[in-house]
């Protein structure tokens, strides 16, 4: 359902939706569009409307032009400095009353599960879930691994630093974005923190 409003999906992965500007920085987007490489490398099935864009270089949209910006499991891949710069750019691009919704892995939940786990591998499980393991993949796909993690306080603080006055921790499917049921992934529900801000 497209209303003609500008709606941006940052770090959409293969789950972009029609009517949105679906952006991701995976190098496999380009490779998947070359038939021989797609077959050889078995790249993901990227929708045709997903555009490869490195948002760390800035959002290429007019100031005050977007009604909604959605980002799921993307901000943890940026450094703290990059996250703040991107959040500020989201603020710039949003029109007054526009909504930014950020979904990230919930650090508070990961820590809670660690504390409640009496097993001998609890620490290793927690470290693995953090995903802070940079590797050679970063050369081919900068940002492919996590660079930081957020709890509710940290993500709310980030958005306030970016200029948003109205920021709140939300929950799965509860949003001012009308199409939230089409864009929010059920598979991420139990591991995610949801924060929404209005300009």
Identify whether 143 is part of a domain: yes
Q: Is 26 exposed, middle or buried (0-12, 13-18, 19+ CB in 10 A)?
A: buried
Is position 1 within any domain?
A: no
The CA dihedral of 174, 93, 98, 144, to the nearest 10 degrees, is 0
What residues are paired with 51 via a beta bridge? 23
Does residue 154 lie in a domain region?
Answer: yes
| DSSP symbol at 178 | T
CATH number of the domain to which 120 belongs: 3.40.50.150
**CA–CA gap between residue 128 and residue 135 (Å, rounded):** 14
- The residues that bridge with 66 in the sheet, in sequence order, are 6, 94
67, part of any domain: yes
Q: Tell me if 122 is assigned to some domain.
A: yes
Whether 84 maps to a domain, the answer reads yes
**What's the number of domains the chain is made of?**
1
Digits of tens for pLDDT over the chain (199 positions)? 345 799 999 999 888 899 999 999 988 787 877 877 777 778 778 888 999 999 999 999 999 999 999 999 999 999 999 999 999 999 999 999 999 999 999 999 999 999 999 999 999 888 888 877 766 666 666 667 889 999 999 999 999 999 999 999 999 999 999 999 999 999 889 999 999 999 9
**C-alpha pair distances (Å), 183 with each of 14, 89, 180:** 11, 21, 5
| pTM score of the predicted model | 0.89
Q: How far apart are CA 151 and CA 133, in angstroms?
A: 19
* Per-residue pLDDT at 144: 72
Determine the structural domain holding residue 88 and report its residue range.
6-198
> Residue 79: inside a domain, yes or no?
yes
């Amino acid at each position: 359902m497209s209303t003609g409003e500008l709606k941006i999906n940052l770090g959409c992965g293969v789950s972009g939706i029609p009517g949105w500007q679906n952006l991701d920085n995976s190098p496999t987007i380009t490779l998947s569009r070359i038939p021989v490489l797609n077959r050889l490398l078995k790249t993901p099935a990227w929708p045709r409307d997903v555009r490869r864009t490195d948002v760390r270089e800035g959002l290429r949209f007019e100031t005050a032009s977007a009604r909604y910006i959605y980002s799921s499991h993307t901000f943890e891949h940026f450094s703290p400095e990059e996250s703040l710069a991107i959040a500020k750019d989201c603020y710039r691009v949003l029109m007054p009353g526009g909504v930014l919704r950020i979904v990230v892995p919930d650090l508070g939940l990961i820590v809670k599960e660690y504390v409640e786990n009496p097993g001998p591998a609890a620490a290793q499980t927690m470290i693995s879930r953090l995903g802070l393991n940079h590797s050679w993949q970063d050369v081919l796909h900068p940002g492919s691994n996590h660079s930081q993690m957020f709890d509710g306080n940290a993500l709310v603080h980030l958005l306030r630093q970016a200029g948003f006055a109205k920021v709140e921790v939300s929950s799965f499917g509860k949003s001012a974005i009308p199409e939230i049921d089409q864009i929010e992934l059920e598979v991420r529900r139990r591991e995610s923190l949801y924060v929404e801000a209005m300009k």
